[in-house]
Every structure is written in structure tokens, then in C-alpha cells.
A and B are shown apart, each in its own frame.
Chain A
Amino acid sequence: MCADMAVDYQDNCDSKQFDPKTDHNRALQYDEKFLWDHKQTDHSGVDLAPVQGGINKTGIAQRTETGLPNLSEPQVLRHFVRLSTLNYSIDHGFFPLGSCTMKHNPRLNEKMARLPGFAHIHPLQPEQTVQGALALMHELQDWLGQLTGLPGVALSPAAGAHGEYAGIMVIRAKLRDAGMHHKDTLLIPDSAHGTNPATASMCGFKVKTISTKETGRLSVEAFKEALGDGENIAGMMVTNPNTCGLFEREIIEIADLLHKAGGYFYCDGANFNALVGRIKPADFGVDVMHINLHKTFSTPHGGGGPGSGPICCTEELAPYLPVPLVGKSDDGSYKLLRKADYPKTLGRLRGFNGQFGMHVRALSYMLSHGNDGLRQVSGDAVLAANYILSQLKGDYHVPFEGRCMHEALFSEKWLKDHGVTTLDVAKALIEFGMHPMTVYFPLVVSGAMLVEPTETETKENLDRFIGVMKHIAELAKDGQGDALHNYPLSAPRRRLDEVLAARNPVLNG
């Protein structure tokens, strides 16, 4: 290596001299330091011309050292470009993170969101100057209402958990309006997303757990037991299909029992990708649900952009939705409905009108697929998950028999005897160039591995994943578990000290 290159390394990666024994940069894998680890405080990124004549009013005399690294523009640029290359996203490769619906984000969405008429408007503009944007939001409300069978739609919630909060607050507002303050408990299955009981608690409800451990599904008997006389039951929060990737077969009967007891059915819409275009959740008794636009309708996390969690509800609950909503006037113009137009609203949950850029992307996705295309989305997603389940069920323990919906659930049961855990499988997947599945969730299955391929992948890609998973299982069963404990070896970082990271996180910078 020539001396100039060594200097260049030092310039961007470390303040130490290059030492081939301790330098961790390999090929184009950079051991990128934090910016604040650069100790160079004697450099300057910009040169200010000395003041010629007159009085220097730049305040230099009053300045003290900030302790911040002084870097030039190319140093900063390289730092962030290198960091970005350490990231893994759905645009890099297979990303089967269960319950996250990491689907491809069509670039058409991005083109639409960047149209100047959408990208360059401001939420404080007069409504008559943004009629196109309001029309788009109104149409998105219509689509979501049609797809869920729930006509009341509020687009403003910012993400999934915020949508849950909004939905449960709608139920609370309805109960209070009806004078039913004694209804203070929500029923939640033990397989639920952790956000469900957290939402219930945030909204002031107690949580009663429904056990699903035997079959992975809700049963009428277990529900009846949890419901009791139903006197204090405000409602239930259920994900369907649930977090085990299974459709709740008895959901209609359960919803009927709940409604008879005066409770409301909140559906967590995280898994809507399994149903979209095929089943309207209203038909299985849902009163209010959130939709993760950033899952079902593309732009997943890691795919760019923020989340967006609109809620949809029945006509009965619609008066309580959070404002603003987009309404259509008699003259055909669109307007934002606020508290004055919507007196029973639970109020405003955030600034402005929601993640408008995500509304554009979601509607682009809907319009480019059409209703028949969305129907194929859910069909292909379920088919892909079942293909993986069928190919791997001889290699990995499957806790619940039968077909799955859009995600396949495995457990570490058959690996444990070989000293191999779910964590080892996840880390080995990184070594073999794939993002791991969701691990150790749902909690009802010990050492769970939740695989959600979505409709994005080709059969060849699914086969490649299946091949890697079979290889890992074979390594475990051949007594080569020790190798698995050390993976990943080729990634920018090897196994991390997770306990230290959790107990003493470095939060400065």
C-alpha cells in the first residue's frame, strides 16, 4: 500500500496511523468510526476570509472551543455514504421480517410523491389552493373505507401504534358519551403485538389476557371465560390473521358475543396484507381498526419514508374520529373538517393532516394495482408463506399444524438438543447474506421464528432462502453448532454484547 493511501485511510476512519494488524477495514467494508471519535479539533471545514479594515464583528474573540470535530465536506460526505453502505434494506435483498410486511416499494410511488404539486405544498396553505391534495386524501379515505368495509376513515394517525391509540380513544369517547364509564377493561390475546396492551394502558384501560397457547388461535371457550358477564368489558384488541400467521376461524362468533356484551372490536391491522382485496374486516365484526399504509400499501420501514396509520371505523363510531378529516362540499370542493364541523370528535392527535407523502404513495399503489391487483397481492403473499412452510416443515419444528396465512411460524424446538438456538439461526442468516426473520416473537412460542416473505419475492429467491435455512438446520444436526455460535463472521460487525448494549447504551453524539 502506498503512503498516500494510508494517509487517506487515517483521514477518514481513525486518527491513528494505519497499522495492518489492528486496522479493521477490509476490501470495501469500512470500520466506520463515529464522527465524534475524530479528535481533529485543529482543522476547519471552511475558511473565512480575514476581515479587511473596519471592525471584526464575527464574534471570534468571544468564542470558546466546542470540542466538536472539525471536518471538511468530503470527510463528512464519505462518513455518511459509508454508513449508508453498512445498512441493509429491502432494496438490497430478501427481508422476511415477520409482522413487518417488508414489501417492495414501487418507484412509481416515489415519482408521484415527488410531483411538484404534491411535494411543494404546505399544510398552512389556503384550502382552495390545495384542492388536488385534498381530493387525493378524500379518495384514499374512500379506498380504505371500501377495502375494510368501515366507512369512517381518519388519515391523520402517524403510524401503527398511533393508529391503535386513536382507535382505542374512539372507543373510549363512544363509551363515555354513552355514560358507560364502568366499562374499563380490554380483552387481548397473549399472542398480541406488545403495542396492544401498551395502547390499552395508555388509554386508561385495564387489560385481561385471553389464552391462545394450545392451538395458536382464539377459541370461543377461552373468549367466554375471559369475557365473564361482560359488564366491565369495553372491547377487545385482536390481530387477524394473528401473530402466529393463523386466521382466527371463530372470530365471527367471538365478535357476536362481544357485541352482545356491549363491547367494541378493535382490529390491529398490521397483518392486513393477508386479507386485502379479499376480506372486509367489517364482515368479521370489526368496529374500528388501523391500517399500516407503510406495510400493506408499500414503503415499509427500511424502504424509505415515515409510517402512516389511518383508522377506519363503523358509522356508529365515526362521529368520534380524530380531526381533521377530509370532506366534500355540495359544490364539489374539498375541505378539512375540524372540531366545529365535527362536534363529537375526540380532538386532534397531531399537527397538520397526517403523513401526506405516505398518502400519495399508498393511493399510487392502490390505483396502480386496482382492486383485482390488491386481491392478487394478498393471494401471492399467502402462497409464498405457505411455500416456505411446506418446504421447511421437515427441517424446523412447526408449532401449529395446518396452513398459514401471510407468515410462517417455526420454533427452535428441534435445534435445542444440538445446542443451537433461534438467535444462532438469525445470525447465520446474516452470514449468508439475508436479513433474519422476526425472532422470539410471538411470545406464546418458545424460540419463535416468524417468516413473512410478502408477495415481493420470486420463487428463485424463496428457494434460495429455503436452501440457506436447510443448510443451517443441517449444520446444527451434524454437530457443527459451534460454527453457528460464531456467526456472523463476514458482516461489518460480529456478535454484539447485547447485555452491555442494553445496560450501558452510548447515547451521546
Chain B
Amino acid sequence: MSEIKYTKDHEEIKIDGDIVWIGITKHAGEALGDLVFVELPDVGATFDKGADFAVIESVKAAAEVYTPVGGEIVEVNDALPDNPEQVKEDMSTGWIVKIRMNSAYDLTDLMDEAAYKAFCDANA
């Protein structure tokens, strides 16, 4: 069973057992504008909770993507560097990395869809 959660930094995550898919939210994709580059981490790299692991560059700005969980990168979406706009699609094709959570994790900071929508409206 998997579920979609959202972070305050506008990442969208799908938790599938100990594997977490990380992408960006639709709201973030719209805010960034036309995308130019996506820079991916290496498979096997490990990141602490809260670390930036990827960079998305648009014509307006470069944005870092943070991981809400610590762990090891098990897969990266190789299609993104050639087609950055794909990161705006749904998680099934727009995911950036899959990360294997290490034992110490904390998912309490995450929001569900309704809470994230309220968060975006409050910060608009």
C-alpha cells in the first residue's frame, strides 16, 4: 500500500514500504516556470534527512530539491535530464529519485493533500 504526502518545501513523496519516491508538487512545477535542467544524484549516494539531493533549473531560478527522509538513492529517473518538463507530470512519470529509507526516519512533518492545499493557499 502506498500513499502520497507533501512537504513544506513542495516535494511530493510516495511511500512504498521502505522505498520513498520523491518528486515535486504540481504547485512547485507551476511556480518554477519553463524548465531548463534537472541535475540528478548518483545511484548509491546517501543523504541525510533534509539534505538537498537534486537541482531543478528554470529560466527564472535554480531550485534545490530536499529529501524528507534519510537514506540511499536506489534509482534515478534518467528521462529527466533530456526532458526536464517531465518532472511536472504525475509521480508515475515525474518522479525524480527513489530512496531507500534508513532505519531512523520521521515522517511526522509531512502533509496530506488537503493540508498541503491549505498550506499553499496560506502562503500565496
A contact set with B: CB distance below 8 Å: 440, 443, 446, 498-499, 502-503
Contacts and interface: CB of A to CB of B under 8 A. Distances in A.
Give chain B's interface residue range (CB within 8 Å of chain A): under 10
Interface string B26-43: 000001001111000000
A499 B31 contact: no
Contacts, number: 17
B45 interface: no
A403 to B, nearest CB: 25
Contacts of A503: 36-37
A446 B34 contact: no
17 contacts: A440-B60, A440-B61, A443-B61, A446-B31, A498-B34, A498-B36, A498-B59, A499-B34, A499-B35, A499-B36, A499-B59, A502-B36, A502-B37, A502-B57, A502-B59, A503-B36, A503-B37
Contacts of B31: 446
A159 B59 CA distance: 25
Contacts of B37: 502-503
A443 B31 CA distance: 12
**10 pairs of A and B residues whose beta carbons are closest in the complex:** A502-B36, A498-B59, A440-B60, A499-B34, A503-B36, A499-B36, A443-B61, A440-B61, A499-B59, A502-B59
Contacts of A502: 36-37, 57, 59
B26 to A, nearest CB: 16
B54 to A, nearest CB: 17
A134 to B, nearest CB: 43
Query: Chain A: interface secondary structure?
Result: helix
Nearest to B57: A502
Nearest to A416: B124
A22 to B, nearest CB: 28
Given A440-B61, A499-B34, 15 more contacts: A440-B60, A443-B61, A446-B31, A498-B34, A498-B36, A498-B59, A499-B35, A499-B36, A499-B59, A502-B36, A502-B37, A502-B57, A502-B59, A503-B36, A503-B37
A502 B57 CA distance: 10
A188 to B, nearest CB: 14
A246 B59 CA distance: 27
Nearest to B85: A499
Nearest to A502: B36
Interface centre among A440, A446, A499, A503 (most CB of B within 10 A): A499
A410 B79 CA distance: 37
Nearest to A194: B62
B87 to A, nearest CB: 14
A440 B57 CA distance: 14
Contacts of A498: 34, 36, 59
Nearest to A503: B36
Interface string B56-69: 01011100000000
A440 B34 CA distance: 13
Contacts of B34: 498-499
Contacts of B35: 499
A499 B60 CA distance: 10
Nearest to A499: B34
A420 to B, nearest CB: 14
A293 B61 CA distance: 27
A446 B35 CA distance: 17
B21 to A, nearest CB: 26
Contacts of B57: 502
Contacts of A443: 61
B28 to A, nearest CB: 12
A457 to B, nearest CB: 27
A499 B31 CA distance: 16
A499 B37 CA distance: 9
Contacts of B61: 440, 443
Contacts of B59: 498-499, 502
A22 B99 CA distance: 54
A83 B97 CA distance: 46
B51 to A, nearest CB: 12
Nearest to A422: B60
Contacts of B60: 440
A443 B60 CA distance: 10
A503 B37 CA distance: 7
Nearest to A440: B60
